Amino acid sequence: MNARLHPVPEQFDDPVQQREAATLGMWAFLATEILFFGVLFAGYTLCRVRFPDAFAAGSRHTDMLLGTIETAVLLTSSCAVALSVREVQLGGRQLATALLGITAALGASFLVMHGFEYYAEYREGLIPAVHWTQQGVYAKGMEIFYCLYYFITLFHSLHVSIGVVLLIVMAWRTWHRAYDARYHTPLELTALYWHLVDIVWIFVYPLIYLVGRAG
Amino acid sequence: MNTPAARPQRSHGSGPRPPSLGGNLWTLLALLVLLGLSAGSALLELGVFNTVANLGIAVAKALLVLTIFMRLKTDNALLRIVASAGFAWLAVMIALALADVLTRAPLLAPW
């Protein structure tokens, strides 16, 4: 569909009001997403208060270098998608499509890196109820840490996967001139979703990878 | 479908004015520097301040993404309210849950 043929539905006064309604709806959805992940973070907080040493021991088994690289990848991808929206607003198409492709590729590379992490954890016997070989006083508490770790990171990875698919669709549509400076709301909403996925990871990184690293 | 509008149409391009290229790139640089600070400070023995520093830096990074990349700084004020509401409810949930856990004395089983 060509952006120039996009009519304003009759319930809206003008394109500005249409965009305001769409972004407000998206932010309402993002607020529910904050609470969705918030429950997991609240559970994490309570368990960490109860088992501080076991959580530190569990965190030391995660791959801090890979976690840091993954964070940098997601932060960079957020910038790329923000630049892509900017480019479309300024009337560009090819660069915007390329930036969306880069964002999707960075998201996919994040998933691959996380896959390597999961594999390493499987080999180390760090998957509760599936392959758990940890012994010692902290083993029980570490099991709780790793349960939360898998819940949080798997739900996050699910969001990243959905985001990658959306970004590929947006890149395809941008390339086929579906969006221009006047109309690009779906692209803007996809970017908002991707930024939220990034924000969730910004909090996952210190809580999962950086506990008890000193000394 | 596209009936003549009763009110004059606002005609500026949809959305707030795009942020500058430099603004976006500086934001990315700041985020990566904060990431480095976060990883570096985690390796220093700071006691409870390790957690404080890590969470403080995470909040700073999230605020940068929210204000610049997600354009809450320049966009409609209503969006800032909705976004704040999401985080406010999260704060309430964590605060009340912690208040319960931290202040309750464990009761021994009576048998």
CB contact under 8 A, A27 and B79: yes
Tell me the pLDDT tens digit for each residue of A118-136: 999 999 999 998 999 989 8
pLDDT of B11 above 60: no
Residues of A in contact with B14 (CB under 8 A): 15-16, 18-19, 182-185
**Cβ atoms within 10 A of the Cβ of A3, count?**
17
Pick the CATH number of A49-209 from 1.10.645.10, 2.40.50.140, 3.30.450.20, 1.20.120.80: 1.20.120.80
Contact A49, B102 (CB under 8 A): yes
Tell me the pLDDT tens digit for each residue of A6-42: 778 888 888 888 889 999 999 999 999 999 999 999 9
Cα–Cα distance, A13 to A84 (Å, whole number):
28
Instruction: Tell me the torsion sign for CA atoms B60, B63, B67, B69.
Output: positive
Residues of A in contact with B46 (CB under 8 A): 214
Six-digit token pair at A49?
């208060």
Domains of chain A, by residue range, sit at 49-209
pLDDT tens-digit profile, chain A (215 residues):
555 567 788 888 888 888 899 999 999 999 999 999 999 999 999 999 999 999 999 999 999 999 999 999 999 999 999 999 999 999 999 999 999 999 999 999 999 999 999 999 999 999 998 999 989 899 999 999 999 999 999 999 999 999 999 999 999 999 999 999 888 999 999 999 999 999 999 999 999 999 999 86
CB contact under 8 A, B18 and A90: yes
Residues of B in contact with A81 (CB under 8 A): 69
Residue type, A18: Q
Q: For residues B1-13, give the mean pLDDT.
A: 55
Cα–Cα distance, A201 to A208 (Å, whole number):
10
**Phi, psi at residue A131, to the nearest 5°?**
-150, 90
Cα–Cα distance, A164 to A114 (Å, whole number):
15
Please name the member of A31, A181, A184 whose beta carbon is closest to the beta carbon of B83: A31
Residue A79 — left, alpha, or beta (φ > 0 → left; ψ -120 to 50 → alpha)?
Answer: alpha
Residues of B in contact with A27 (CB under 8 A): 79, 82-83
pLDDT of B12 above 90: no
What SS3 state is found at A123? helix
What pLDDT was estimated at residue B19? 81
Cα–Cα distance, A174 to B103 (Å, whole number):
55
Helical segments of chain A, H only: 15-50, 52-60, 64-89, 94-124, 139-175, 185-204
What SS3 state is found at A131? strand
Contact B7, A16 (CB under 8 A): no
Average pLDDT, chain B: 87
CB contact under 8 A, A35 and B62: no
What pLDDT was estimated at residue A15? 82
Cα–Cα distance, A115 to A120 (Å, whole number):
9
